[in-house]
Amino acid sequence: MTVNTINRNSRASSTNAIQTFWKKQSKDILPPVLGVLGFLTVWQIFSWSGLTRLPGPLSVWTDQRTRELLLYPFYDKGGIDKGLFWQTMASLGRVAQGYSLAAIVGIATGIFVGTNPLINKALDPVFQFLRMVAPLAWVPIALVALQQNQPAAIFVIFITSVWPILINTTEGVKQIPDDYNNVAKVLQLSRKEYYLNILFPSALPYIFTGLKIAIGLAWLAIIAAEIVMSGIVGIGFFIWDAYQQNYVSEIILAVAYIGAVGLLLDRAMGYLQSRIVPQEKK
């Protein structure tokens, strides 16, 4: 076999590998891309037709103020006059604090309630009642109780996102097979050994389901809370301020930021779940 033949075979193999890769990727990437483009096209056509006063997606670029926000997301002129990157990061910082607190409290309380049937019966109606309260309903209560926007916003995130974590963790603990518990009794496992070897591995898929639901609720809650709270840096208040000044194109751009960040949070949690939860337990 000559050197030229080897090179041709190598190039052919590389070409086939690239083609196979793109065929697989196109099935996953092409449909959502076409769906988004189709949605934006229909939206723009409706805007051009005059059937709605809502600007089309092209207004994000044609409007000078919005174009500057798009091109310069990192500007910081002090106070609340900041680019969308800093507005989004401020909101994400509040989400990180409230969500972390919700995860700690939700998982710990869920395990405690799930391992105590009597307490579960007593508290389940309370949990179900509180989780039905909309995030905006907690805002005035939080402001009255805490007196400041920042802790009030974190509380709203916490109280909104804690329930799916708590309830799913409780359900995961309750669903541990009796055989596992019987084995633990026979082996006389300590509480620590039982938690590490039986409870956590068995309840982990339920816990991650709650965490994944909660991250979306936390992001929605902070947007709603910031819209009501005044004078704070955050993407929610940015939308409210733009609405009051009738900068609709800026609202559209901010909504795009919100959707993109929410999608990234969901995908990140899904990836984390795929790396931690065993495949057979999903």
Does the structure show a pLDDT above 60 at 5?
A: no
The pLDDT, as a whole number, for residue 103 is 95
Query: Which residue type is seen at 31?
Result: P
The pLDDT, as a whole number, for residue 215 is 93
The predicted-structure confidence for 182-215, as pLDDT tens digits, reads as follows: 777 877 777 788 788 788 888 889 999 999 999 9
The pLDDT, as a whole number, for residue 106 is 94
Please tell me which residue, 148 or 50, carries the higher pLDDT value.
Answer: 148
Find out if CATH 1.10.357.10 is the number for domain 65-281: no
Output the CA torsion 42→243→225→220 (10° steps): 10
Q: What is the mean pLDDT of the chain?
A: 82
**Those residues with Cβ within 8 angstroms of residue 98's Cβ, 6 or more apart along the chain or in another chain:** 153, 154, 155, 156, 157, 158, 161, 218, 221, 222
The predicted-structure confidence for 226-257, as pLDDT tens digits, reads as follows: 877 777 888 888 888 888 888 888 888 888 88
Side-chain half-sphere exposure of 176, counting CA atoms within 13 A: 23
Does the structure show a pLDDT above 70 at 267?
A: yes
Rounded Cα distance between 155 and 95, Å, is: 10
The pLDDT, as a whole number, for residue 24 is 64
For CATH 1.10.3720.10, list the domain ranges present in the chain. 65-281
Does the structure show a pLDDT above 60 at 281?
A: no
User: Cα separations (Å) of 221 from 97, 135, 232, 276?
Assistant: 13, 6, 15, 27
- Give yes or no for a contact between 274 and 81, defined as CB atoms under 8 angstroms apart: no
With pLDDT > 70 as the criterion, what percentage of the chain qualifies? Answer: 88
Does the structure show a pLDDT above 80 at 136?
A: yes
Query: Which residue type is seen at 60?
Result: V
Strand partners, 82: 76
Q: What is the pLDDT averaged over residues 131-138?
A: 87
Does the structure show a pLDDT above 80 at 275?
A: yes
